[in-house]
Structure 1
Amino acid sequence: MIPEYAKPGDTVVKCPRCAYVWPYSGDKEYATCPSGGYKCEVAVNQKGMVLSCEDEILVDVDRYDRTVRRALSLGLKRGDRDYRSGIADAFPTKDGGSREF
């Protein structure tokens, strides 16, 4: 399930130490787990990027570099439905077509 306070374009990160899942909207290489304070490498621990909160859709962009993920995130945060539809067509959803992780 996508964290309830996530926004389109947020990266969903899962802490490898405590398994806490949260939306990360920054562009740094490491994010600090809000639960345990552990520094997580975002690309390695990314569970997907939020495409639609209401439909609980994550796109799988783990294999792309930071520049691509940042560009996707900025586009998604603008709230353009056509852009989101284009992303959904261009990138697979998380877990091979599943609408949730």
Structure 2
Amino acid sequence: MKEGIKHICLTEDDPDDYYFFSEVLDELNGDVKLTWFQTCEDLLEYLKAGDNLPCLIVLDLNMPKMDGQTCLVSIKEELALHHIPVIILSTAGYPTTIDQA
């Protein structure tokens, strides 16, 4: 990846949300590489490979199979990954869900 280009991993199962997110990034700053994962399992597999780690992870809590909360715990338990900032993306409005994230 070229120097100066930021890499963001988006984990989101809804293609419409991915499209919206990528369009906003393009409008704000064209120097961002966005890698999209539709499952937490795919994200974790990519991260554990250690190639081209992102500077930021955007993670949906409401995911199929492994939920975003479990995925977040897995990321933060991995010594090579725990330094990567994670932004939680969710439509959940429950205070307990927000506090847990």
The structure with the largest alpha-carbon Rg is 2
Structure with more helix by fraction? 2
Q: What TM-score comes out, normalization by structure 2 length?
A: 0.30
